[in-house]
Amino acid sequence: MKTAQLKTIEQNDNVSLYSICFNDNNISEYEDFLLKFKDNSELNQDFQRIIVALEKIIERGALERFFRIEGKMNDHVSALSLDSRKLRLYCLRMSDQILILGNGGVKTTRTYEEDETLSGYVMDLQRFDELLKQAQKTGSITIEKNMIVGIDNRVFEL
Amino acid sequence: MKTITNPLFRECLAQVSEKTRAEFNLSFEIADRIDAILKKKGLSQKELAIKMGKRESEISRWLTGRHNFTTNTLADISLALGEPVVCVPSDN
């Protein structure tokens, strides 16, 4: 069974960015995305634009208009993508102040569903979103302004 | 609240070129300006799309702050909104 933990990536008074670590891995999905593309000369411009977009989100909040909806109507899955370019980073936009960053990659197919790797990233986020909703219902985690409370050492089973 | 930063992300940010940052800041500021005019005028993205004969998805792409606007599009948006979206300083 796959397990997942939330790791805080960036946090300030305004916003918190988290990412998911699977199966006791110290490297989160977002850090894996950074490591995959940071030295990729072909995608360097796209990668840098996504990085700067995240810097703006840290300054301004995870406003809805910054994202493209990628999942289903009833989940929080969004993407940071660039017009007519292929690189995208998937995430769960929980609120203007809480963003969970997933993994991402180059979209070469018309929809992400046609790409096994990308649809895997989206499905992981959708499953994690469900687990967070359940944990909120039972009260084991709570969302307070810009923080998810109760995630320290919490292991989710996907 | 404790501020947390991620070293790997910060390392990547430090490598962003001046040109990319300048270009991004411009498109981001234009998106902010369009969003502010829409709010001021009580217009939705859908209403702007109808006014301009565009799809709503196109308007939402402009508002992400990552769109590469052409002067043609900027002129169209300014006309539809009834206000300039960008102002170029004049030397005269």
Q: Is the Cβ–Cβ distance between A5 and A154 less than 8 Å?
A: yes
Q: For A98-118, what is the mean pLDDT? A: 89
Instruction: Give all domains of chain B, ordered by start, each with its CATH number.
Output: 20-81 (1.10.260.40)
The whole-angstrom distance between B13's CA and the closest CA on chain A is 6
Tens of pLDDT, residue by residue over A114-147, are: 889 999 999 999 999 999 999 999 999 999 999 9
Per-residue pLDDT at A75: 81
- How many structural domains does chain A have? 1
The H-assigned helical ranges of B4-87 are 7-14, 18-41, 45-52, 56-62, 71-81
* CB-based contact, A45 to chain B, within 8 Å: yes
Q: Round to whole Å and give the CA distance between B45 and B47.
A: 5
ipTM attached to this prediction: 0.91
Question: How many Cβ pairs closer than 8 A exist between chain A and B?
Answer: 72
pTM equals 0.92
State which residues form the domain around A76. Answer: 3-157
What residues in A contact B11, CB-CB < 8 Å?
38
What residues in B contact A55, CB-CB < 8 Å?
13
Looking at the partner chain, which of A8, A35, A45 has a beta carbon nearest the beta carbon of B20? A45
Tens of pLDDT, residue by residue over B2-49, are: 899 999 999 999 999 999 999 999 999 999 999 999 999 999 999 999
Whether A84 has a pLDDT exceeding 70, the answer reads no
Please answer yes or no on whether B13 and A34 come within 8 Å at the CB atom.
no
Per-residue pLDDT at B19: 94
Identity at B75, one-letter amino acid code: A
The count of other CB atoms within 10 Å of the CB of residue A122 is 22
